[in-house]
Structure 1
Amino acid sequence: MKVRLMDASLGLDDIFENLQKAYDLSPEEQSKITLAGAKVLQKRLAEYIRQHHYRQRKLGKEPHLAETIIVDNHNPDGELDGSSAVGWPAAPAREGGLGYIARFLSDGTKYIKGDDFLDRVRNSCDDEITRAENDEYQTILQEKGYEGS
């Protein structure tokens, strides 16, 4: 009976080592995972904006709101900590920052009825974001030599 317990403990050690490999992710690896989800959100936001807030007009030098969505795998302080962000450049409008327009469209103004598209899009593609992040996670696990599920 003691032999079986020892054999079982050896198997548990292997399982523990595999789990430790699976969960010990560097900030670079975490960033790859969150970036995969962020790219999905960027794509869905651009699609929604083109479909619901796109007017045929001459834009001149200024790009459309849907074309200015950016994805960054650094936090707002510029550090690589495993997080990713989706949004518009934090710059004045004259430098291409159109985030204020997105806020007007989503939250509304005195003259514009907001449609809360930021939360709506984020919630509607949550499953797709999770799948993209899981696919990237599985790729990282395979690179580390661990077969996850």
Structure 2
Amino acid sequence: MVQNISGDLDDVLSKWMKQIQNQTAGMTLADKTAISEAGGKVFMDALRKETKAKHYSNKKDPKWGHMADHISIMLDGKSRRSVNTDFNGGVIVGWDNRYHAMNVMRLNDGTKAIIGDHFLTNLRNNNELRSKILEAEKSKYDEIANKKGDD
């Protein structure tokens, strides 16, 4: 009886290993980017809502616009300001111009004249949001893995 279980377990484990190898080893850079982008979109939406809720004003700036309207996803390593020049499929969510990025830094961290409210830091550390990001990445991963499993 023990031999049957170990024999069946070996078969199950070998099939499982082949399935995992087919799904993960065959991941292309485009697949990894798609997974990262799915999580980045969830964070970007939450960041836009948080920025509008805490720091939106009625000021109409024709040149710069409002910082809540200029949040975007950038491919890590493809941005000209990126520290990482070796693209690995990761994404960065943030402000697409320096003017807004500097204002956010001052609002989040504070200065001598401004008390920081840490809205960005708190959002990054929000466990509920992290769970939503992981769920989005997992569903994208499952979608890609199922396509690879069908091949």
Normalising by the smaller structure, the TM-score range is: 0.7 to 0.9
Give the alignment partner of residue 95 of structure 2, picking from 88, 101, 108: 88
TM-score by length of 2: 0.81
Q: Which residue of 2 aligns with 1:46?
A: 48
Query: Following TM superposition, where does structure 1 have runs of at least 4 consecutive aligned residues deviating by more than 4 angstroms?
Result: 3-8
**Conserved in 1, the CA contact under 8 Å of 2:35 and 2:140?**
yes
Counterpart Cα distance in 2 of 1:62 and 1:138: 40
TM-score by length of 1: 0.82
CA 1:92 to 1:7, structure 2 compared with 1: closer, same or farther past 3 Å? closer
The CA RMSD measured in Å over matched residues stands at 2.2
CA 1:101 to 1:134, structure 2 compared with 1: closer, same or farther past 3 Å? same
Give % identity. 29
Report the secondary structure of 1:118's partner residue: helix
Counterpart Cα distance in 2 of 1:127 and 1:12: 29
Counterpart Cα distance in 1 of 2:117 and 2:98: 24
Long gaps (5+) in structure 1: none
Q: Which residue of 1 aligns with 2:142?
A: 138
Q: Which residue of 2 aligns with 1:13?
A: 14
Report how many residues are paired: 141
Give the alignment partner of residue 113 of structure 1, picking from 112, 115, 119: 115
What letter corresponds to residue 135 of structure 1 in structure 2?
S
What letter corresponds to residue 61 of structure 2 in structure 1?
L
